[in-house]
Structures are given as structure tokens and as C-alpha cells.
């Protein structure tokens, strides 16, 4: 009985080992790339323009959070945000046909925030964060943990 179980386990082991061998190196590289894209983690081949821009967008939103709470945001939307349409992503296949319209929704939300009356800036700020969130739910959930912490409690 025990030897039967043992040989079954052995079979299972051989089966699993073979299955893993079936993945070629190229497959594994593809998989690792997909994984890192799925999480938007640091690209080992250097940073893409879009990843760099995302970190600047993150810095921007964090830098105006207190002002949104105080209702003192005014002036012009920083021009660099428009680069979202041209910045090159880590992998061009990740940017699908929806990317530009999602990017426009985000830009429109930022613009709206800059033109709000003080008392509604908190809500407008949270709308911007919701655009970060929805885009990341679609493309890469990695940064969602940080993004969800950006909301201003109302």
C-alpha cells in the first residue's frame, strides 16, 4: 500500500517536472515580462517613459492633496501631464485602444479639479484618484495599494 502511494507520488513529481520543462526560456522571459507588467513593477531593462511619467503623476497628486483638503488649488494644470499620450510604455502591447480615452478622462478630471470652488475640491480630487484607480484595475493592479490610500476621507 505504502509503496503504491510512493510510486503515485513519484509519478506526480515526474509529471510536474516535465510540465515545467515544457516552458522554453523564451516563454519564461515572456511570462516574467507579463508578471512585471501586471504589477507595473520596475522594468529591469531601464525605466520606460510612461513608468517615469506615472511616478511624476503620483508625485503631483500627492503634492496637491493638502491643498485640495484646504480648498486652495488654483492656477494652471501642469503641462507635463499631457505627455501621458506620447510617453512610451514598457511594452507597447499593454497600451490598447482604450488607453487614450482613459488618459483623457484622467486629464479632464485634473482640469476640473483646478477649476473647482474651494468647498468641492476634495470631491474633485477623489475623482482624479478614481481615474488612476480605474485605469490600473484595467492595466496593472500593482500600484492600486498606493492609489487607494490617496483618497481624501469625506
Q: Of 27 and 100, which CB lies nearer to ligand HEC in the complex structure?
A: 100
For 61, other C-beta atoms within 10 Å of its C-beta total: 18
Three cell numbers written together for 137: 484595475
Q: Does 148 bind ligand HEC (CB under 6 A)?
A: no
Q: Could you give the C-alpha distances from 2 to 5, 13, 15, in angstroms and in order?
A: 5, 16, 20
Q: Which of 94, 1, 103, 102 is nearest to 39 (CA)?
A: 94
- Looking only at residues 24 through 43 of this chain, which bind ligand HEC when binding is defined by CB under 6 A? 40, 42-43
CB atoms near residue 40 (< 10 Å): 20
Count CB atoms within 10 A of the CB of residue 102: 17
Closer residue to ligand HEC (CB): 19 or 101 = 101
Q: What string marks each residue from 46 to 75 as x (binds ligand HEC by CB under 6 A) or -?
A: --x-xx--xx-xx--x--------------
Q: Of 33, 65, 102, 111, which lies in the binding site for ligand HEC, with binding defined by CB under 6 A?
A: 102
Footprint on this chain of ligand HEC (rule: CB under 6 A): 40, 42-43, 48, 50-51, 54-55, 57-58, 61, 89-90, 94, 99, 102-103, 106, 131-132, 135-136, 139-140, 143, 147
Amino acid at each position: 500500500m505504502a509503496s503504491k502511494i510512493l510510486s503515485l507520488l513519484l509519478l506526480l513529481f515526474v509529471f510536474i517536472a516535465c510540465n515545467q520543462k515544457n516552458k522554453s526560456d523564451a516563454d519564461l522571459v515572456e511570462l516574467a515580462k507579463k508578471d512585471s507588467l501586471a504589477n507595473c513593477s520596475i522594468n529591469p531593462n531601464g525605466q520606460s517613459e510612461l513608468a517615469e511619467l506615472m511616478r511624476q503623476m503620483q508625485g503631483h497628486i500627492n503634492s496637491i492633496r493638502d491643498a485640495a483638503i484646504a480648498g486652495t488649488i488654483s492656477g494652471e494644470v501642469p503641462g507635463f501631464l499631457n505627455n501621458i499620450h506620447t510617453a512610451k510604455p514598457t511594452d507597447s502591447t499593454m497600451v490598447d485602444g482604450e488607453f487614450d480615452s482613459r488618459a483623457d478622462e484622467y486629464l479632464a478630471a485634473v482640469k476640473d479639479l483646478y477649476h473647482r470652488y474651494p468647498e468641492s475640491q476634495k470631491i474633485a480630487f477623489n475623482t482624479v484618484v478614481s481615474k488612476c484607480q480605474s485605469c490600473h484595475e484595467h492595466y496593472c493592479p500593482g500600484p492600486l495599494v498606493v492609489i487607494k490610500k490617496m483618497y481624501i476621507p469625506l
